[in-house]
Structure 1
Amino acid sequence: MRNSQRGITLLGFIIVLAVVGLFAYVGMKLFPMYSEYYSVRSAMKGLASEPGIANTDPRKIQDLFFRRLYISYSENVKPEHVKIKRVGAGWQMDVKYEVRKPLIANLDVVGKFESTQMLTRTGAVD
């Protein structure tokens, strides 16, 4: 009785490698977009915890927000993407932006990101 070996062929290995490589490539394109979004969320939550933010001028709030984003090298969020409006005794900050990155040939990956944060903390103003 002859014992035959079974396993993946070279062609099968190349196909599996190509699929894994494609997913890794797409992941490398998507990771910076989501990393930037989490930086935006972190900056907004940081602003919400600032003492006296509810009594601060909207231009000052926007300036503080973009200073926090500058630290994380955020390049897709522009001032026109940020809306600040008065709600009750505080502010509501809305950030809505879109990121488009080339993927393969004429295919692009598009990410639409939206975040809202209430800025209601009162306290001493610096």
Structure 2
Amino acid sequence: MSVRLRTSLFRQRGMSYWGWLLVVAMFGFILTCVSKMAPAYIDARYVEEGLKKLAENPNLRELSRADIKKELDRFFLINNVRGEPTKSVKVIRGADSMLVSIDYELRQPLIYNVDVVMKFDKQLNTAKPELCCEPLVDLEQFRKRDN
């Protein structure tokens, strides 16, 4: 066998054991991240859909805070949304509009003592229902006033 053929075959061996181990470890880490964080993002999607459905209600301005929360709770129950999103519904009435805000933060343990913090802020402003679910109002001013 010639030297040229031998070096050519040596280069075509494929990935080594350590290369495959690295690929499997990276795939496992990505799969772990997705399995831990995906439920929170699915719940956030349902929160957004609930606010959009609430925006379609023609009698929204006449509903009380309790009725609005009841409507959202019903939607969340049907779509299996639990935990922080259901507890953080706030309704703020203004002179000519109303703001329904669902602002929450989730801390999910990832690996050992490493946590992932996910922050979600969805708002429905009745003055601009077409811009549903994007935060238009900074609620820090209301939090400072309430404390």
CA RMSD of aligned residues (A): 1.7
Please give the alpha-carbon distance, in whole angstroms, between the structure 2 residues aligned to 1:75 and 1:52: 26
Please give the alpha-carbon distance, in whole angstroms, between the structure 1 residues aligned to 2:94 and 2:14: 65
Q: Helix, strand or coil for the counterpart of 1:114?
A: strand
1:101 counterpart = 2:108? yes
Please give the alpha-carbon distance, in whole angstroms, between the structure 2 residues aligned to 1:6 and 1:31: 38
Letter in 2 for 1:12: G
TM-score, normalising length from structure 1? 0.86
Larger helix percent: 2
Please give the alpha-carbon distance, in whole angstroms, between the structure 2 residues aligned to 1:112 and 1:33: 10
CA contact (8 A) 1:54 1:120 kept: no
Name the structure 2 match of 1:78.
86
Query: 5+ residue gaps in structure 2?
Result: 129-147
Larger strand percent: 1
Name the structure 1 match of 2:54.
47
1:37 counterpart = 2:44? yes
Deviation at 1:54, TM superposition (A): 1.3
Deviation at 1:78, TM superposition (A): 3.5
CA contact (8 A) 2:76 2:86 kept: no
Letter in 1 for 2:35: M
Please give the alpha-carbon distance, in whole angstroms, between the structure 2 residues aligned to 1:87 and 1:95: 17
Letter in 2 for 1:83: K
Please give the alpha-carbon distance, in whole angstroms, between the structure 2 residues aligned to 1:37 and 1:107: 22
Letter in 1 for 2:86: K
Identity, % of aligned positions: 28
Choose the corresponding residue for 1:10, options 17, 35, 40.
Answer: 17
Summarize deviations over 1:24-62 as a string: whole Å, max 9, x none: 110111110111001101001100001211111111011
- Which structure has the larger Rg over C-alpha atoms? 2
Name the structure 2 match of 1:62.
69
